[in-house]
Amino acid sequence: MPPNTQPRFSLTPNVDGCVLPNANAVVTNDGVSTGTGNSIMYKALTVGANGSFIDSVRVYPVGTTSGGKTATASSFRVFVSTVNQDNASPAATTAANTQLLCEGSIAASGTNSTTAATSYFDIPIQRPVQAGKYILVCQGQGQTANVQLSVMVFAGNY
């Protein structure tokens, strides 16, 4: 058997993210979204030219106005897709081109507090993803007014 000439460790960091508006809520985990209304997935990361190792996803509930707000408890979903989502003008996704990578639970938590730090939620992934793919994210439950989810994906390119 020939040796593996491709290293397991990534070469360069690839950290990117997006913000999910408060009304965004894709309630299914089958990869299907219409790309309109509340059925929207957002691109959080473009996989590198030689593939990427996705380490984790960090989700911060953030308040968009001053004063404490409370984020709604929600499921949070991470997908691998061939759809290069333009977050300003989202496209539809299907079960054939978008697959669930993982999901986690986001607890109800305060945002924009003047006395306490905002809780963040880390979702470990620890999986390689081939080139030509995109990491898309969504929430299962829309947030209250003036609350959004800020998402960061930590990865490394091969």
Domain assignment present for residue 50? The answer is yes
Domain assignment present for residue 4? The answer is no
Domain assignment present for residue 125? The answer is yes
The domain that holds 83 is classified in CATH as 2.60.120
What's the whole-model pTM score? Answer: 0.90
114-128 pLDDT per residue, tens: 777 888 999 999 999
Domain assignment present for residue 73? The answer is yes
Q: Is a pLDDT exceeding 80 seen at residue 3?
A: no
d(CA 128, CA 107): 28
Q: Is a pLDDT exceeding 70 seen at residue 1?
A: no
Domain assignment present for residue 131? The answer is yes
Domain assignment present for residue 7? The answer is no
Q: Is a pLDDT exceeding 80 seen at residue 35?
A: yes
pLDDT interval class at 7 (50, 70, 90) = low
Domain assignment present for residue 5? The answer is no
Number of domains in the chain: 1
Q: Using DSSP, state whether 78 is helix, strand or coil.
A: strand
Tell me which amino acid residue 145 is.
A
Mean pLDDT of the chain: 88
Q: Is a pLDDT exceeding 60 seen at residue 4?
A: no
80-126 pLDDT per residue, tens: 999 998 888 888 999 999 999 999 999 888 887 777 788 899 999 99
pLDDT for position 6? 64
Domain assignment present for residue 20? The answer is yes
Tokens of 92: 């539809």
d(CA 92, CA 77): 16
Range of the domain at 38: 12-157
**DSSP one-letter string for 9-69:** S-SEEEEEEEEE-TT-----SSS-B-SBTTB--EEEEEPPTT-EEEEEEEEEEEESSSS-E
d(CA 39, CA 32): 9
d(CA 4, CA 60): 38
* Contact present, 83 and 22 (Cβ < 8 Å): no
Distances (CA, A) of 74 to 61, 71, 77, 93, 156: 11, 9, 10, 21, 28
